[in-house]
Amino acid sequence: MRLSDKTRKAVEALLPVIAGTRRALITVHRDPDTDAIGSALAWAGFLSQRGIESTIWAADPLEPYLRWLPGVPRVQTDFDSSVDYDSIWFLDCASMERVRQYERLLPWVGKRPIINIDHHEDNSRFGDHIVVETISSVGEFLVGIAEILNFQITPEIATCLYAAISFDTGRFLYSNTTAHTFDAAATLVRTGISPGELGTQMFESVPAAGFAVLNLALSRMVIEPERRLAYTSLPKGTGPESIKVVDFVRQLEGADVVVVFREQDDGIVRVNLRSKGDVVVNTVAHYFGGGGHAKAAGITLPGPLDTVMVSVLARLRETLDAR
Ligand SMILES: [Mn+2]
């Protein structure tokens, strides 16, 4: 895998941090996805090869679709803050604030190395060690980092990293997929893991209830052909989104931007934005305090659903009409 010289130097600078660590705390962004959790589990696996004991902390309980990942019971919604961690690792976090309850980590800032390993182009470059490159996924990044640091990719780690890459690239379909992504995937598959089995596990194991949610989402879909925009929404009480609705909606021909609004039972509305063309959607997300990538971004806002839809769609239509 080819990483820039600057990144390579930043990775090599992690060697003394690793050597000086006995206990590590690893954390990821709020509402963690497969890239976040898969990468955290892989990183804990790598560190254990150097005799390091890791705590993986994500305050949000894991969504059911993540629970098949090997080692997932290691992920804790709480951690013992009286433990004197030697280093704090942030994976897949564009900023420190992206971590749910990040305030709990502030006591370590300036006292212990803070390491920022991420792939978001809007990364705020926080921490003492900034290992950031625009690349498909943290999963892909860790394959390159493992090579530099001589970590061994076991089949278990490979499963976590393959899942991470496959998730963030939409099964190697999105525009973030490069030749290097396939190189990394090939490295992982050579450990003996099966893309077919993992594909079934990740993308063809949707509980029947998920189809009811999809059915509702499709029945509420609105298309604005002149703007090349499509969106839909799921009201409170719909149940867990065990199927990624936005991945279906984006299949629509002629849609440059698609949006899914989902009102959670606590009244919070989650907005998923995707772009298939040149429209940059994270600028719209930033406007509302969200973030993400140029072509895949998210916003979390207090409800109600209708109000959020009106304001986000207004902003988005302005962006689209300005083209
Ligand atoms: Mn990611």
Residues 11, 130: contact at Cβ < 8 Å? no
Query: CATH number for the domain including 289?
Result: 3.10.310.30
Spacing, Cα 187 to ligand 1 middle (Å)? 19
Claim to verify: residue 158 and residue 220 sit in the same structural domain: no
Same domain, 165 and 213: no
Tokens of 226: 């002149």
Give the CA angle between residues 218, 221, 226 to the nearest 5°.
140
Ligand 1 center to 226 CA (angstroms):
32
Query: Mind listing the pLDDT tens digit of every residue in the chain (323 residues)?
Result: 679 999 999 999 999 999 999 999 999 999 999 999 999 999 999 999 999 999 999 999 998 899 999 999 999 999 999 999 999 999 999 999 999 999 999 999 999 999 999 999 999 999 999 999 999 999 999 999 999 999 999 999 999 999 999 999 999 999 999 999 999 999 999 999 999 999 999 999 988 989 999 999 999 999 999 999 999 999 999 877 767 899 999 999 999 999 999 999 999 999 999 999 899 999 999 999 999 999 999 999 999 999 999 999 999 999 999 98
Ligand 1 midpoint to CA 163 (Å) = 11
Are 166 and 44 members of one domain? yes
**Structurally, how many domains does the chain consist of?**
2
- 201 C-alpha to ligand 1 centroid (Å): 19
Determine the distance separating the centroid of ligand 1 and the alpha carbon of 109, expressed in angstroms: 24
Residue 137 alpha carbon to ligand 1 centre in Å: 5
Distance of CA 82 to CAs 44, 79, 105, 125, 220, Å? Answer: 20, 9, 12, 27, 49
192 lies in the same domain as 51: yes
Say if residue 157 is in the same domain as residue 180.
yes
Tell me the CA–centroid distance for residue 293 and ligand 1, in Å: 9
Q: How far is the CA of 105 from the centre of ligand 1 (A)?
A: 21
Give the domain-ending residue among 202, 217, 245.
202
Q: CA 104, 261, 178: angle at the middle one, nearest 5?
A: 75
Instruction: Print the domain residue range for 148.
Output: 5-202
**What does the angle CA 261 – CA 270 – CA 284 come to, to the nearest 5 degrees?**
80
